[in-house]
Amino acid sequence: MKVALLLIFFLLKLPNQVAVIGNDEPWLNAPTPTPWPEQFHALLYMNLTTTHLQLSDVWYDWPNGRNVNIFQKQLGILLYDIEWNNGTSFYYTLGEGAYCQTVDFGVGIPRPDFLDGAHYLGQVVTDGFLCNLWEKVDFIWYYEDVVTKRPVRWDFYDGISSHVMTFEIGAVLPDSIVQAPAYCFTEAVNGKDASTY
């Protein structure tokens, strides 16, 4: 999962595809994906490649330079993933058996316009919604509701699919929640478990 995330961030930062100018390219009139709002809260239903399921509470916050995912693994742990725009991500759990892992990805969070240059694939019905579908660098397939322009679903090349259950524009997670616990900062070695409480 972490390797996949790393790759995502690299690929999404690649230069946008250059459209070929001509009269017979239908995509010249194709719709473009709506940029992400600078701040939003979404609840995602995720189907992992292992076919295990999880919920993700996403708090994307571009002005504050952070993207928070709180994963509830099915009948499993609650995993915090706090990603900062300086490239550092903290993965941790709370309570008994709590642990923390710090990873430096070297790249920041996706920009609101990270879908610029995506290739339009047409309209499809997914999860019961009529959507415009785009693909970017064979890495992400992104479904947006034709009418409301809200994201409905996105799939990564490795088979992880995320289904948007709620999408709340402008919602911001309080700073107190995004502060990684103290044990993330003791004996912290990049890429290794900092602690095993």
Nearest-approach distance from CB 28 to ligand NAG, in angstroms: 33
What residues make contact with ligand NAG under the rule CB under 6 A?
47, 51, 53, 84, 86, 88
Nearest-approach distance from CB 99 to ligand NAG, in angstroms: 17
3-state helix, strand, coil in the chain (%, to 5): 10, 45, 45
Residue closer to ligand NAG, measured from CB, 53 or 137: 53
- Please say whether the beta carbons of 57 and 69 come within 8 A: yes
d(CA 103, CA 99): 13
Residue closer to ligand NAG, measured from CB, 84 or 154: 84
d(CA 135, CA 50): 23
Nearest-approach distance from CB 10 to ligand NAG, in angstroms: 18
Nearest-approach distance from CB 60 to ligand NAG, in angstroms: 16
Which residue intervals of the chain are DSSP H helices? 2-12, 175-178
Residue closer to ligand NAG, measured from CB, 34 or 47: 47
Residue closer to ligand NAG, measured from CB, 100 or 115: 100
Q: Which of 67, 72, 77, 23 is nearest to 46 (CA)?
A: 72
Using DSSP, state whether 7 is helix, strand or coil. helix
